[in-house]
Structure 1
Amino acid sequence: MEETVPSVEAYEAAMVLSGVGDALGYRGGRWEYCTSGPQIHAELAELGGLEAITLQPPEWPVSDDTILHLATAEGLATGTSQLRPGEPGGYRIPFNPTGTGCGAAMRSLAIGLRYPHAWELPTLIRVSIESGRMTHHHPTGYLGALAVALFGALGARGEPPERWGAELLRVLPLAWDYVEGAGVAVGDNAAAWPFFGDAWHRYLESRGLLEGRGPPQVPSLPSPAERDAAYLGWALEGWPGRSGHDAPMVALEALLAAGGCWEDLCARGVLHGGDNDSTGTIAAGCWGLRGGLAPVPPGLHCCLEHRGRLRDAAHRLHALAWGRC
């Protein structure tokens, strides 16, 4: 099937809005660590809503999520791939039974933008897993990186979000083949492997998306409290969006529910109780591939910290991925 070539503006929107979702959800640490979606939305109303906000330091800096995403994007554009070049396997760390966090997931959208083609799937699997387990050597952690990279690739080539989860389940056995073949802590990885796929199978089944066909059966969840309760049901250790499995899950839920509405995307994927700067980075970045910058209030992106670097990284990634198409 012929792939749709995305515009460079779509890549720019994806990278810039990933920073917007981060800065908005972070709010200098005030909202990142807030467990109450209702409180966040009440404070947003006091600020005058999204239209009244200008995201810029010192009140609205980006967090480490954007810094690490930028580092990943710029590394992909320049060829950097190792933490300790020259030392065999120097970028690998031991298996970590607690390495389930979303830190690998929130920085991996750029991997999908760099390797968006269907024929590049083995490379996307390898790069996302190895990038992920540089810091999160646990399947729940590094498979989050694979999920977000895959969502970026699918979004870049025009696949609608209702297909993304089913494709992720299809790719997981290929990911295991890679992990087993790499021969690093295979026993530990095998023992911890099932949780991620089982969690995603349950989620997709509940949304009628196991086969990747719509329309998705997404509950309305009109209030912040209802969304908090739903996301809490997917979470580890009572912190929605904190882990590698549920950060992309919250982001996908927001994309499915919001469609083309930026405000709904923010309400569901960014402004909730939990690790909302990480889910915001993923959700807003993926949304940008389809929605672009035009529907977004200018104050949210025109003065964004590191906007120029995000834009430049997007242009380089687009040229590398699609320049010969």
Structure 2
Amino acid sequence: MDEKYCASLVLSGVGDAIGYRNGRWEFQTNPKKIWEEYQEMGGIDYIKVDSKEWRVSDDTVMQLATSIAITRDNGDDFEKTCQEITTAYIRCLEDMGGRAPGRQTLESLAHFTPGMKKQLLKWDELPYAPAGGGCGAAMRSSCIGLKYWSPDAIGDLIRYSIESGRITHNHPVGFLGAMVAALFTSYAIQQVPPRQWGTKLMNEALPLAKQYIEETRKEPNRTWENYEKGWNYFVNAWTSYLELRKIPFGEQTTTESNYPEFPEEYNYMDRDKFYHSLSFDGWGGSSGHDSVLISYDALLGAGSSWKEMIERSAIHGGDNDSTGAIGCAWWGALYGFTGVPDINYQHLEYRRELYALAKALLAQRK
């Protein structure tokens, strides 16, 4: 278990760093160009991830911030922990040089920062954000599933992941992405087979999430009237994906054994076209729904192969550092460091800090 916790955080950083490649790959929308450069390097076995050529992006810096906040000794003080998360996000902005932080995150945190707004807001007072459906909440939330990993802790997982998301992304597509990133990490630690995760999300977790949202309704910025359209968009995207992959949910039977179903031909170009089709604006993985959908698709297709996981989650022409970070967090929680070349992670930026926080999360897990 110690290895899986460490691998989840560390390999999330690796997926981020490889997808980002100091901004060269994250903002390269031509998948052929990325794939050719990746092949010229010799593939994943020859990539030495270090702090010079392969820096982590804002994804890992904010994952560190979330981990730090939820491992502070706050007991069961929900209010205090959410304030700690907000403070950690503000402080981590000092380390964003060259890491391409998201616009929505920066704009939202300005509401909590002295000197940047006339009226400071509490952590739960961010205005409803019509354009807040980005992946900035999902990319930093897998660590919540390491702390609140057990079925008995599902209530805490839902409320902390949703609130960590709403701090900057007060839109269902944004904060539900954060919930899925945390939820699927917890499923990995529970050793639930990945093919069942989508079913459990639809049948069990989303109803609980909707209940929580209704219970925490707050005028004027946290109302179902604001959230309904985004909620339906997120649920419909997952419904379509699960139907495409023949993954049962709802009233459907769960006795079949031949799912998920992938195309016979599914090379890097095929995958890129599919990721593009899932996206809101053509940049696959940049939103809360498609970031976790792409990551899940990559995990289902990769199985226990680290090479396949990197190539499916981080080597594409979309928001590949975020899908790499999310998907590789799940993969690490499932398989540890099995089959991962040492050079992929031994010199990763912030490796020591990620190890230390993984051990803290393991010690505090519920």
Alignment TM class, shorter chain as reference: over 0.9
Q: Which runs of 5+ in 2 are unaligned?
A: 75-80, 89-119
Tell me, yes or no, if the aligned pair for 2:11 and 2:329 is still in contact at 8 Å: yes
> Which of 193, 200, 205 is 2:231 aligned to?
193
Amino acid at match of 2:67: A
Deviates more, 1:130-139 or 1:91-100: 91-100
- Distance in 2, matches of 1:232 and 1:176, equals 28
With normalisation by structure 2, the TM-score equals: 0.83
Residue 172 (structure 1) shift: 1.2
Q: Deviations over 1:258-316 (max 9, x none)?
A: 11111111111111110000000011110011221131111110000000011111111
Residues 1:90 and 2:91 are matched in the alignment: no
- Distance in 1, matches of 2:358 and 2:87, equals 26
Amino acid at match of 1:173: P
Which residue matches 2:139?
106
- Distance in 2, matches of 1:106 and 1:151, equals 13
Matches within 5 A, 1:150-229: 150-170=183-203, 171-184=205-218, 185-186=222-223, 187-211=225-249, 214=257, 215-229=259-273
3-state SS of the aligned residue for 2:55?
coil
Residue 209 (structure 1) shift: 1.0
Amino acid at match of 1:50: I
Amino acid at match of 2:245: R
3-state SS of the aligned residue for 1:315?
helix
Q: Is the alpha carbon distance of 1:261 and 1:110 closer, same or farther for their aligned partners in structure 2, counting shifts above 3 Å?
A: same
> Which of 143, 146, 158 is 2:179 aligned to?
146
Residues 1:259 and 2:303 are matched in the alignment: yes
Which residue matches 1:3?
none
Which residue matches 1:81?
82
3-state SS of the aligned residue for 1:193?
helix
Deviates more, 1:196-205 or 1:178-187: 178-187
The size of the alignment, in residue pairs, is 316
Amino acid at match of 1:179: I
Which residue matches 2:107?
none
- Distance in 2, matches of 1:228 and 1:191, equals 27
Tell me, yes or no, if the aligned pair for 1:232 and 1:240 is still in contact at 8 Å: yes
Residues 1:12 and 2:6 are matched in the alignment: yes
Residue 168 (structure 1) shift: 1.2
Amino acid at match of 1:197: V
Tell me, yes or no, if the aligned pair for 2:130 and 2:171 is still in contact at 8 Å: yes
Matches within 5 A, 1:298-313: 298-313=342-357
Residue 51 (structure 1) shift: 1.6
Amino acid at match of 2:229: A
Residue 89 (structure 1) shift: 4.2
- Distance in 2, matches of 1:36 and 1:267, equals 15
Two-structure CA RMSD over aligned residues (Å): 1.8
Which residue matches 1:4?
none
- Distance in 2, matches of 1:84 and 1:188, equals 26
Tell me, yes or no, if the aligned pair for 1:13 and 1:292 is still in contact at 8 Å: yes
Tell me, yes or no, if the aligned pair for 2:82 and 2:163 is still in contact at 8 Å: no
Deviates more, 1:247-256 or 1:187-196: 187-196
Q: Deviations over 1:139-170 (max 9, x none)?
A: 00000001111101111110011111111112
- Distance in 2, matches of 1:235 and 1:10, equals 30
Deviates more, 1:47-56 or 1:88-97: 88-97
Residues 1:115 and 2:148 are matched in the alignment: yes
Which residue matches 2:109?
none
Residue 219 (structure 1) shift: 2.3
3-state SS of the aligned residue for 2:278?
coil
- Distance in 1, matches of 2:290 and 2:121, equals 33
Q: Is the alpha carbon distance of 1:88 and 1:228 closer, same or farther for their aligned partners in structure 2, counting shifts above 3 Å?
A: closer
> Which of 344, 349, 359 is 1:315 aligned to?
359
Q: Is the alpha carbon distance of 1:71 and 1:84 closer, same or farther for their aligned partners in structure 2, counting shifts above 3 Å?
A: closer
Deviates more, 1:116-125 or 1:212-221: 212-221
Which residue matches 2:329?
285
Tell me, yes or no, if the aligned pair for 2:123 and 2:167 is still in contact at 8 Å: no
Q: Which runs of 5+ in 1 are unaligned?
A: 1-6
Residue 81 (structure 1) shift: 2.2
Q: Deviations over 1:13-61 (max 9, x none)?
A: 1110000000000000000111122211100122222122111122110
Tell me, yes or no, if the aligned pair for 1:201 and 1:210 is still in contact at 8 Å: no
Tell me, yes or no, if the aligned pair for 2:17 and 2:54 is still in contact at 8 Å: yes
Residue 130 (structure 1) shift: 0.6
Q: Is the alpha carbon distance of 1:46 and 1:69 closer, same or farther for their aligned partners in structure 2, counting shifts above 3 Å?
A: same
Percent identity of equivalent pairs: 42
Amino acid at match of 2:212: Y
Tell me, yes or no, if the aligned pair for 1:92 and 1:133 is still in contact at 8 Å: no
Amino acid at match of 1:227: R
Q: Deviations over 1:179-204 (max 9, x none)?
A: 11111321201233211011101100
Q: Is the alpha carbon distance of 1:43 and 1:157 closer, same or farther for their aligned partners in structure 2, counting shifts above 3 Å?
A: same
- Distance in 2, matches of 1:270 and 1:193, equals 27
